[in-house]
Amino acid sequence: MADEEESKPAKKGGAKKLIIMVFAALVLVGSGVGGSLYFTGMLGGAGKADEEEAHEEKEVKKVPIYFAFPKAFTVNFETADGLRFLQVKMELMSFQQEAIDAVETHLPLIKNNIILMLSNQSYDHMITSEGKDDIRAAALKEIQGILKKYLVEAKIEEVYFTNFVMQ
């Protein structure tokens, strides 16, 4: 009988350990499932943040494509001080190869319109930084207008001066 009394407490202690281990296993499994659902966005966790990060990554991964005009644009001006010259080397930037291809296709028209636009500028206005910005904006508008006229969906984003000489 003494043996029976000693074995009963041992069985109770073993049952307690078993219950604690089962409970701990359930907590771990529940935590894993809950965490997985939360981070995949099924419980409203990081789903929106992941979408925003993916959208930002798409914008960051845009690679600019540059196009340099083969020769500089050279125009002259008649001023009160005499004959003046302007020589401008321009490059274009787009994120779409289609826009660069369209510029190459319509290069004679674009060059013609830029030369005419530069020739109609005032020398006194062009020597200011404000005037240079106005010329860049006008050249961009002119190029975008030509591409739009010929139904090109892609667009040129920027016009850059890589050389600007006035005499």
Decide: pTM greater than 0.85. no
Q: Averaged over 147-167, what is the pLDDT?
A: 94
pLDDT-derived band of residue 31, with 50, 70 and 90 as boundaries? confident
Q: Which of 109, 63, 122, 118 is nearest to 90 (CA)?
A: 118
Q: Is there a single domain that holds both residue 76 and residue 55?
A: no
- Domain with 39 in it: 2-60
Q: Alpha-carbon distance 158 to 2, whole Å?
A: 96
Q: What percent of the chain has pLDDT over 70?
A: 82
Whether the CA torsion 122, 125, 129, 133 is positive or negative: it is negative
pLDDT-derived band of residue 37, with 50, 70 and 90 as boundaries? confident
What's the confidence (pLDDT) of residue 48?
59
Tokens of 33: 């499932």
Query: Given 60, 94, 109, which residue is the final one in a domain?
Result: 60
> Of residues 49 and 16, which shows the higher confidence score?
16
Q: Which of 112, 102, 113 is nearest to 142 (CA)?
A: 113
Q: Is there a single domain that holds both residue 117 and residue 158?
A: yes
Q: Is there a single domain that holds both residue 75 and residue 119?
A: yes
Q: Alpha-carbon distance 146 to 167, whole Å?
A: 30
